[in-house]
Amino acid sequence: MRIKLLLLSLTAFLLSLTVQGQLVYTLNDCIKTSLENNYSLLITRNSEEIARNNFTPGNAGFLPSLDLSGRHSGTLNNSNTNYTDGTESSTSGVFNTTSSAGLTLGLTIFNGFNVQTTYKKLNELKQLGELNTQMTIENLVSNIVSVYSNYVNQVQQLNNLKYALTLSKERLRIDEERYLLGSSSKLNVLQSRVYVNSDSTRLSRQAETVRATQIQLNELMAVEDLARTFFTQDSSISISHDLLYEKLLDETLTNNTSLRIAGTNKVISEYDRKLIASRSYPYLNLSSGYNYNFNTYSSSTTKNQLTNGMNYGLTMGMNLFDGFTQRRSLQNSSIELLNKELRYQEVEQGVRADLLTIYSAYSNYLRLVALEEQNLSTASENLTIAMERYRLGNLSGIDLREVQMSLLEARESLLSVKYQAKLAEISLMLISGRIMEYYK
């Protein structure tokens, strides 16, 4: 007895170590890991960083330009000269050098509000980069929640099949006992074994589905070891029942990222049109500089010469005619602006339609969940009664199998409806801009 107790204690201890060593994920863990490692998100963030770097006064043209240049050159010449009186002269090895340096300053004083408009456009492009990153994050979180929920659902399906296999094994045990006692035929035992094998096959296939979903979640999190196994803290899918259509509609029209991107693109098109219109204004540029020149002469009355000094100037101009290029560009920009307005209306209409469709499905799934829960309760009660009757010999094997399958299908149907309701909930949270509420 002591040895038996010792073995039981040792087994319990080893099991506790195994559980402690298992990797357990919460939904928050999965989202956090994905936001840190996902490759698509990292690429989008780099693009956002480029747009942020471009938003500077210097890039818009507010700041002056300052250039420094220097040059040193020389000549080495031979010269022969014939005069009209018949005489001639020649020189050789005439070496002259020139050294120069200059500092040039340029500044745009006025360019038809081009600089100010460009700066505003750069700001909108920066915001567009932020919105693109936000959309990538929201889609990624939506995928993580969906796959995480799918994993929980598939594990529940696996447990359901394990329970079905347990029932089939219990039936086989009963039939084998009856056969040994002579109260049942060999045919019933063989049929029960067929059911056990069939349920074992379904269980094995479901285990493969669970594994595939696990790998998919690892891929979204961009972990190094895609094959690593884990467990989730959640053992069932929780569904929010308090989403209201009117509130979701207001939040969608205010926070939907696709709609905000369409609005930003419309503003950028407005700035593009203003930039084209600025070409019709006069421009005024300031230039200034400092020059230094030093020349040396090897064959001259002058040995060397130094020249230095400052210069400045104002340049004013205006385009009078460019072959109607500006007029054509203005017409095209007006059409492009109209297209962006139409695109915004199209996105808004699509978002409204998607919200209405998804919410209708969400409400229907909630009703189906209640019905399937009642159906499962009835099927469980039927199985309890059927198993007792089968033990007493008052129910045939075919009828018992039908009751077992009814319970299995009732559980599968409930799990499926719950998962579909969860997907509808995730879509509503995504479209209304509330998807980050899953990340706590």
Q: What is the pLDDT of residues 55-90, one digit of tens each?
A: 999 999 999 999 999 999 988 877 787 777 778 877
C-alpha distances out from residue 312 to 203, 285, 288, 293, 305, Å: 87, 11, 4, 17, 23
Which residues touch 169 (CB under 8 Å, ≥6 apart)?
196
Neighbours of 69 (CB within 10 A): 11
Report the pLDDT value the prediction gives residue 300, as an integer from 0 to 100. 67
pLDDT digits (tens, 9 = 90+) for 248-296: 999 999 999 999 999 999 999 999 999 999 988 898 999 999 999 988 8
According to DSSP H, which parts of 182-221 are helical? 186-221
Smallest CA-to-CA distance from 259 within 135, 133, 120 is with 135
Kindly tell me if the per-residue pLDDT of 8 is higher than 50.
no
Strands 24-25 and 231-232: parallel
Whether the pLDDT of residue 2 is over 50: the answer is: no
The SS3 assignment for 313 reads strand
Neighbouring C-alpha atoms within 13 Å toward the C-beta of 99: 6
* pTM for the full predicted model: 0.84
> What is the pLDDT averaged over residues 205-218?
95
Confidence of residue 181 (pLDDT cuts 50, 70, 90): confident
Rounded CA gap, 59 and 119, in Å?
8
The owner of tokens 């072959």 is 323
Q: Which residue has the higher pLDDT, 4 or 312?
A: 312
Phi–psi pair at 241, nearest 5 degrees: -105, 5
**What pLDDT is recorded for position 122?**
96
pLDDT for 430: 96
Residue 416's nearest CA partner among 142, 163, 164, 157 is: 157
Residue scoring higher pLDDT (436 or 2):
436
Q: What is the mean pLDDT of the chain?
A: 89
In this predicted model, what pLDDT tens digit does every residue of 374-422 receive, in sequence order? Answer: 999 999 899 889 888 888 888 887 888 888 888 889 999 999 999 999 9
Q: Alpha-carbon distance 94 to 342, whole Å?
A: 75
> Which two three-digit tokens encode residue 352?
């409204």
User: Quick one: what percent of the chain has pLDDT higher than 70?
Assistant: 95
The string of DSSP codes covering 379-400 is: HHHHHHHHHHHHHTT-S-HHHH
Residue 21's pLDDT band (boundaries 50, 70, 90)? low
Q: Is 323 left (phi over 0), alpha (psi -120 to 50) or beta?
A: left
Q: Are 140 and 220 in contact (CB under 8 A)?
A: yes
**Residue 94, pLDDT above cutoff 90:** no
pLDDT computed for residue 9 by the predictor: 45
What's the average model confidence in pLDDT over 297-324? 85
CA pair distance 18, 208, nearest whole angstrom: 22
Q: Is pLDDT at 185 greater than 70 in this prediction?
A: yes
Nearest to 124, CA basis, from 113, 112, 132 = 132
* pLDDT > 70? residue 19: no
Instruction: Judge whether 94 and 299 are in contact, CB under 8 Å.
Output: yes
Q: 185 vs 290, which has greater pLDDT? A: 290
What is the pLDDT averaged over residues 127-140?
96
In angstroms, the CA 229 to CA 216 distance is 12
User: Which pLDDT score is estimated for 79?
Assistant: 77
Q: What's the rounded Cα separation, in Å, for the pair 112 and 329?
A: 16
* Residue 435 confidence class, pLDDT cut points 50, 70, 90: very high
- Asked if pLDDT for residue 10 goes beyond 60, the answer is no
Q: How confident is the model at residue 170 (pLDDT cuts 50, 70, 90)?
A: confident
pLDDT at 212: 96
Question: Is the CB of residue 429 less than 8 Å from the CB of residue 355?
Answer: no
